[in-house]
Amino acid sequence: MDKSTHSHKVSPDHSASGKTHSTQNMDSKKESEQMDHSGAYKKLFWMLLISFVSMFILMYAMVDRLSNVIPNINQFYMA
């Protein structure tokens, strides 16, 4: 093969910035994962809050009078 007829072609993976598509995809995945984590923590917070409120209410479900409810830090902890 003659050197003058051999041509170098740039692969379609390379952009003008020099990054490959896979590198760009990894960067966008990292950004989306960071956004997903913040949404996951918000969801976790709401799940914990709903769970706490429901357990606190269920703890006093069998009390017949409000005068029989005696708030205690241990009950708060157990909820």
Per-residue pLDDT, 12? 54
Per-residue pLDDT, 52? 92
> In angstroms, how far is CA 27 from the centroid of its own chain?
17
Residue 56 has pLDDT above 80, yes or no: yes
Domain boundaries, given as residue ranges, for the chain? 21-78
The mean pLDDT of 54-66, rounded to a whole number, is 87
Contacts of 74 (CB under 8 A, 6+ apart): none
Identify the CA nearest to 75 among candidates 65, 63, 64, 47: 63
Residue position matching structure tokens 């923590």: 41
SS3 state of residue 3: coil
Q: Which residue has the higher pLDDT, 66 or 23?
A: 66
